[in-house]
Chains A and B, each alone.
Chain A
């Protein structure tokens, strides 16, 4: 199972890199979304994939899944949710203001308005 997950994470990172290298800002944002998905899955895989037990550490539990990676992912998901939302708003505003979503045209020399 870990191998399959690793492949999936690799595919996610690959697509994310491809998208982030494109010129369109919206594709770049989708790319960052995929990148963070990949990172979250990576934490889950790194924490060890176990099935069949609850992620609870009871006093007398015979087996349990490590709850920590799940807590970490939840936190990371919320954070990346916030950042993606902010990124989208900034992208939208800059599309209105600059009149383009082409990163090539946004290069800009320092100091010019």
Chain B
């Protein structure tokens, strides 16, 4: 295959990547009271990684991000099931959540919610699954 010149794409990716990842993290945190959440955030992050894959090749990317995405799924599942089952220890049903308000410096009154932990699980599972699928198809070429 002829080697194509990806200079524009690669340069743009270097900047865009951070914008996309930052926005996905914003989406993730916004998810509790506004549209957003772990699923969308995770998809957007994996979208950023896919952009990297398009701009560079699979070897470079796996050197830069040396994750085994199947294990990312595992960690995510542990987060999600752990939070879900946490309520059982306090005699509450599965998936019962708990929240409180704290005054943080700079941010002011902030709510802390165990649902965020659950959402981190969802976020990781989505990234893991999407990237595993894309890698499986991409690697065999």
A interface residues with partner B (beta carbon < 8 Å): 78, 82, 85-86, 88-89, 92, 96
In the complex, number of A-B residue pairs with CB atoms less than 8 Å apart: 13
**New contact pairs (10) apart from A82-B129, A85-B129, A89-B133, CB-CB < 8 Å:** A78-B39, A85-B130, A85-B133, A86-B133, A88-B133, A88-B137, A89-B136, A89-B137, A92-B137, A96-B140
B137 neighbours in A (Cβ, 8 Å): 88-89, 92
Q: CA A44 – CA B48 in complex, angstroms?
A: 31
Main secondary structure of the interface of A (DSSP, over half): helix
Complex contacts, B130 vs chain A, CB 8 Å = 85
**A41 CA to B130 CA in the complex, in Å?**
25
| Cβ-closest 10 pairs across A and B | A85-B133, A92-B137, A89-B136, A89-B133, A89-B137, A78-B39, A96-B140, A82-B129, A85-B129, A88-B137
A82 CA / B132 CA spacing, docked (Å): 12
Nearest A residue to B130 via CB reads A85
Residue among A82, A85, A92 with max Cβ neighbours from chain B (10 Å): A85
A11 to chain B, nearest CB (A): 27
